[in-house]
């Protein structure tokens, strides 16, 4: 755990077709779970784990309407890592610690229950100097 109360969880990979990304990840030794649909974000998700490498969440557009990854998969059809994810046990404390350290985090998606993480709340922040981060509020 660091001074911000964060623990690394996974990389977020936007991909037009999750099966194509999973094929590559499997060749690298990853175990890819079943694809699930998150209606809150209108995305298809696959969590991929490895015994010795960081986990990867594959995120693909859902079937209907606008999604958070549309622009990314249009511009980077083969896929692109676009966020880092961390867990915290105290979101308010983490955000206060960021502010205390002079870090500027702009909320781009407030805490929302996530299907992929058993209903644990996730939120997204644009963190100056790093980019987009997802924070899971671990129970």
Domain residue ranges in the chain = 7-137
The HSE-up count of residue 98 (CA atoms within 13 Å, CB side) is: 21
User: pTM of the entire structure?
Assistant: 0.93
Q: What does the pLDDT read at residue 2? A: 82
Q: For domain 7-137, which CATH number applies: 3.40.50.2300, 3.10.180.10, 3.40.50.150, 3.40.50.970?
A: 3.10.180.10
Residue 57 contacts residue 39 (beta carbons within 8 Å): no
**Secondary structure (3-state) at 113:** strand
Are 118 and 47 in contact by the 8 Å Cβ rule? The answer is: no
pLDDT 10s digits, 38-89: 998 899 999 999 999 999 999 999 988 899 899 999 999 889 999 999 999 9
Percentage above 90 pLDDT, the chain: 91
- Provide the sign of the torsion angle of the four alpha carbons 53, 127, 58, 136, taken in this order: positive
């Amino acid at each position: 755990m660091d001074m911000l109360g964060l623990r690394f969880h996974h990389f977020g990979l936007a991909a037009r077709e999750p099966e194509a990304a999973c094929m590559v990840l499997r060749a690298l030794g990853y175990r890819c779970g079943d694809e699930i649909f998150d209606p809150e974000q209108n995305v298809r998700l696959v969590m991929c784990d490895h015994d010795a490498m960081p986990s990867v969440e594959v995120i693909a557009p859902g079937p209907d309407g606008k999604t958070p990854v549309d622009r990314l998969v249009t511009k980077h059809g083969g896929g692109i890592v676009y966020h880092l994810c961390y867990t915290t046990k105290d979101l308010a404390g983490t955000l206060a610690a960021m502010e205390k350290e002079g870090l500027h985090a702009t909320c781009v998606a407030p805490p929302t229950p996530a299907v992929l993480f058993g209903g644990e709340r996730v939120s997204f922040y644009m963190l100056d100097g790093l980019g987009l981060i997802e924070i899971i509020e671990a129970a």
